């Protein structure tokens, strides 16, 4: 299992570093261009390929977990703020800095408060909670613990239900990849498990908004969370249909189906799809494929890398990538520590 813990964190890291070369590219990227960069051109890089916010925040979660030796949301918030002010230029989303500033300046008892006032009370639906969540999946003992911790963690920066549910599903995807033995991936089983999670999340949200509506009837609310969340359930169902069509999928079709943007509802399904479609072949293919989708390439590749790394383990990550990306040693150290922490639980 230790090589799978390392695979998860290093997988997320190399996806971020390699994907960041193309971040924000509109439209898909030719397979030959991506593989020429990731397998050839990076050989000439003299400096380590830098990681971005995706990894910076993942490291903050690792730091908190390993220092506290437990999951603690106040400590998580503190770790995010410290990391952000130490290196604010790692490519953070445009709005999330305000959350860190409010956390630092007001030090609220409830660390989810600043995120809730973002976007007129809607909260952020960005993929920033999902992109960092893999250590939570490593640390947690059960699916229900994964969901509880991922939700709490997401709420520090992303109050929007779509941002939160994206983080939960990404964490579940990593958690469920860990015990699997490559190379015979049962795609349908993997998807059916995620469908069950998505269904439960959407039912819970509907129930909670119904009871809130009853409580608030008569009051006029100026800002409120969305009535209907994005349906990850429906999207994952589409994923199943698409995957069962076979190998002839054009990246354009995939982007049309899932999107490739900074919204969690686009990036998380795109990452899970990259794993299921190409990560079943090899770790390398899942990263190259995720990047070829274009858009938020570092984040989609990082999330696909976490899932694929959990599946394949550290040894299947190309040596070239491990030698060229910034922060691999630290990722391995964190994986070792979280592995030990979990053993003691």
Residues that bind ligand 8NA (CB under 6 A): 23-24, 52-54, 91, 93-96, 119, 122, 124-128, 131, 160, 262, 296, 298-299
Say whether residue 58 binds Mg ion (CB under 5 A): no
Interaction between residue 266 and Mg ion (CB under 5 A): no
Q: Which does 226 bind (CB under 5 to 8 A by kind): ligand 8NA, Mg ion, none?
A: none
If contact means CB under 5 to 8 A according to the sort of partner, which of Mg ion, ligand 8NA, none does residue 15 touch? none
**Minimum distance of ligand 8NA from residue 157's CB (angstroms):** 6
Task: For ligand 8NA, give the closer residue by CB, 103 or 131.
Answer: 131
Which of Mg ion, ligand 8NA, none does residue 242 bind (CB under 5 to 8 Å by kind)? Answer: none
Span of 72-80, 151-159, 187-195, 312-320 interacting with Mg ion by CB under 5 A: 312-320
When the beta carbons of 94 and 220 are compared against Mg ion, the nearer one is 94
Residue 53 binds to Mg ion (criterion: CB under 5 A): yes
334 binds, among Mg ion, ligand 8NA, none (CB under 5 to 8 A by kind): none
For Mg ion, the binding residues in 78-117 under the rule CB under 5 A are: 91
Residue 225 touches Mg ion, criterion: CB under 5 A: no
Near Mg ion by CB under 5 A, which window of 33-41, 50-58, 69-77, 214-222?
Answer: 50-58
CB of 244 to Mg ion, least distance (A): 28
**Interface with Mg ion (CB under 5 A), residue from 12, 34, 38, 54:** 54
Contacts 24+ apart (CB under 8 A), 111-115: 111/73, 111/74, 111/76, 111/77, 111/156, 112/73, 112/155, 112/156, 112/159, 115/155, 115/156, 115/157, 115/158, 115/159
3-state SS string for the chain = CHHHHHHHHHHHHHHHHHHHHHCCECCCCCHHHHHHHHHCHHHHCCCCECCCHHHHHHHHHHHHHHHHCCCCHHHHHHHHHHHHHHCCCCCCCCCHHHHHHHHHHHCCCCCCHHHHCCHHHCCCCECCCHHHCHHHHHHCCCHHHHHHHHHHHHHCCCCCHHHHHHHHHHHHHHHHHCCCCCCCCCHHHHHHHHHHHHHHHHHHHHHHHHHHHHHHCCCCCCCCCCCCCCCHHHHHHHHHHHHCCCCCCCHHHHHHHHCCCCEHHHHHHHHHHHHHHHHCCCHHHHHHHHHHCCECHHHHHHHHHHHHHHHHCHHHCCHHHHHHECCHHHHHHHHHHHHHHHHCC
The listed partner (Mg ion, ligand 8NA, none) that binds 315, CB under 5 to 8 Å by sort, is: Mg ion
Of Mg ion, ligand 8NA, none, which one does residue 94 interact with (CB within 5 to 8 Å by kind)? ligand 8NA
Q: How far is the CB of 48 from ligand 8NA (least distance, A)?
A: 18
* Residue 285 partner contact from ligand 8NA, Mg ion, none using kind-dependent CB cut-offs of 5 to 8 Å: none
Q: Give the distance, in angstroms, between the CA of residue 71 and the centroid of all CA atoms in the same chain.
A: 18
Beta carbon of residue 261, minimum distance to ligand 8NA (angstroms, whole number): 7
Binding status of residue 315 toward Mg ion by CB under 5 A? yes
Q: Of residues 33, 193, 196, 316, which one binds Mg ion by CB under 5 A? A: 316
Residue ranges that bind Mg ion, judged by CB under 5 A: 52-54, 91, 296, 298-299, 313, 315-316
């Amino acid at each position: 299992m230790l090589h799978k813990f390392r695979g998860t964190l290093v997988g997320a890291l190399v996806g971020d570093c390699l994907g960041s070369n193309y971040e924000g590219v509109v439209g898909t990227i030719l397979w030959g261009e991506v593989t020429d960069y990731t397998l050839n051109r990076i050989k000439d890089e003299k400096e380590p390929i830098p990681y971005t916010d995706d990894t910076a925040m993942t490291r903050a979660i690792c730091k908190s977990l390993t220092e506290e030796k437990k999951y603690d949301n106040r400590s998580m918030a503190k770790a995010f703020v410290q990391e952000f002010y130490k290196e604010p230029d790692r490519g953070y989303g445009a709005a999330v800095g305000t959350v860190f500033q409010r956390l630092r300046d007001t030090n609220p008892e409830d660390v989810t408060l600043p995120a809730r006032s973002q976007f007129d009370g809607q909260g952020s639906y960005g993929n920033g909670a999902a992109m960092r969540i893999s250590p939570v999946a490593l640390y947690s003992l059960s699916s229900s613990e994964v969901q509880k911790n991922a939700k709490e963690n997401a709420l520090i920066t992303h109050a929007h239900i779509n941002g939160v549910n994206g983080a939960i599903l990404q964490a579940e995807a990593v958690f469920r990849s860990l015990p699997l033995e490559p190379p015979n991936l049962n795609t349908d089983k993997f998807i059916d498990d995620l469908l069950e999670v998505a269904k439960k999340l959407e039912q819970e949200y509907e129930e909670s908004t119904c009871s809130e509506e009853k409580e608030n009837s008569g009051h006029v609310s100026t800002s409120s969370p969305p009535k209907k969340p994005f349906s990850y359930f429906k999207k994952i169902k589409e994923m199943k249909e698409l995957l069962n069509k076979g190998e002839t999928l054009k990246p354009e079709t995939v982007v049309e189906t899932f999107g490739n943007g900074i919204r969690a509802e686009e990036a998380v399904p795109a990452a899970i799809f990259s794993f299921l479609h190409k990560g079943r072949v090899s770790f390398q293919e899942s990263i190259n494929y995720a990047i070829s989708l274009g858009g938020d390439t570092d984040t989609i590749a990082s999330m696909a890398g976490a899932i694929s790394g959990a599946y394949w383990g550290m040894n299947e990550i190309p040596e070239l990538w491990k030698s060229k990306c910034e922060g691999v040693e630290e990722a391995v150290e964190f994986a070792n520590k979280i592995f030990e922490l979990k053993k003691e639980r």
